[in-house]
Structure 1
């Protein structure tokens, strides 16, 4: 059986193009989700696709970055599929096919390049943040909890639950602020 997996990063993006390509490639069942690919955690549909796949099946994706954005995640996914006897193919990178040694080599090289690109993008983003901070244009997220206010309310006789309700925060946050 050919199993498709489609993913986009945000709810405003459409899965239609990936669904069409997977169907045209013969996918009999498609798992899809709208979630970040930065990590494989919290990717429920990917987990379902991998558990659904049986020996002799092939998992297909349109592009490698739809499956994983890091070399480590990609290797873990491929290892699980390989142990189950499930093949993997990437439609837009036809050389990526785990059924051949050349395909496995190509997969490793493309994964390394994708990981490198993600790292470079993150470095540029952090560089921009540092530059904006130096110019006084970026201060990060404001602190949502004022520990001194919490301690003041506690000293005034309020309990943790009442403080949490008054400040719109969780009770655990109150306890952490009091312990600090």
Structure 2
């Protein structure tokens, strides 16, 4: 540090800078998009990979806030600050997010010096969260999601043109129709 007209003065260095990590902790994260989906295969996969602390939730990828993921990232940062080497382990990259969401999370992990590992999928293996390959693949996964969405909407439109009903349960009799209309009008 130096002020104009004065000599250089070295600042005190943080205690952890340059220090070797003390141990290694692997934190796991599992997510299902809906309450009906099971987390069992992801939890089994994480356990087989030697992960002992697992954060899990059933919440859509589109949710802006994912409390359990936020807790996992916060704990990873705290552990890393105490000189423990940390890796966030996830079954597949799609469990974290796609496209820009995944890239943003990766930057957050990189800033905390937390490693990232995927057990399956296109990004299987350990990654430098800010690496070019990781960023490109994250962007491609976002594009893949949009492609799937577009194809689904295209299929729905095609079915509608042919007179087919898309989604939901069909009304089977007059009583059901009456009840459905009654419930709708109560809103």
Q: Conserved in 1, the CA contact under 8 Å of 2:117 and 2:124?
A: yes
- What secondary structure, in the 3-state scheme, does the structure 2 residue paired with 1:108 have? helix
User: What displacement does 1:45 show?
Assistant: 1.1
Going from structure 1 to structure 2, the CA distance change for 1:140 and 1:14 (only over 3 Å counts) comes to: closer
Contact 1:22 1:62 in 2 (8 A): yes
What does the per-residue CA deviation read over 1:86-140, in whole Å, with 9 as the maximum and x for residues that have no partner? 11111224444117x7xx2332232233222211111111212322333344589
Aligned pairs for 1:94-105 within 5 A: 94-98=124-128, 104-105=131-132
| Aligned position for 1:41 | 64
Alignment of 1:166-177 (within 5 A): 168-169=186-187
Counterpart for residue 134 of structure 2: 107
1:139–1:27 Cα change, 3 Å: closer
| Residue in 1 that maps onto 2:21 | none
Q: Among residues 159, 163, 168, which one is paired with 1:132 in the alignment?
A: 159
1:128 to 1:57, Cα distance in 2 relative to 1, 3 A: same
3-state SS of paired residue (1:116): helix
> Distance between the aligned counterparts of 1:29 and 1:168, measured in 2?
46
State whether structure 2 residue 52 is matched by structure 1 residue 28. Answer: yes
CA distance in 1, matches of 2:104, 2:134: 13
In 2, Cα distance between the equivalents of 1:44 and 1:30?
Answer: 13
Aligned-pair distance for 1:9? 1.7
Query: Structure 1 runs of 4+ off > 4 angstroms?
Result: 138-141
Superposition deviation, residue 25 in structure 1: 1.8
1:60 maps onto 2:89 in alignment: yes
Unaligned stretches of 5+ residues in structure 1 = 142-166, 170-180
RMSD: 2.4
CA distance in 2, matches of 1:42, 1:95: 26
Which structure has more helix as a fraction of its residues? Answer: 1
Q: What is the DSSP-based 3-state SS (H/G/I as helix, E as strand, rest coil) of the residue aligned with 1:57?
A: strand
Contact 1:11 1:34 in 2 (8 A): yes
Give the alignment's TM-score, normalised by structure 1. Answer: 0.66
Q: Where does residue 5 of structure 1 map in the other structure?
A: 29
Q: Compared with structure 1, are the counterparts of its residues 20 and 82 closer, same or farther at alpha carbon in structure 2 (3 Å cutoff)?
A: same
SS at match of 2:64: coil
Aligned residues: 139
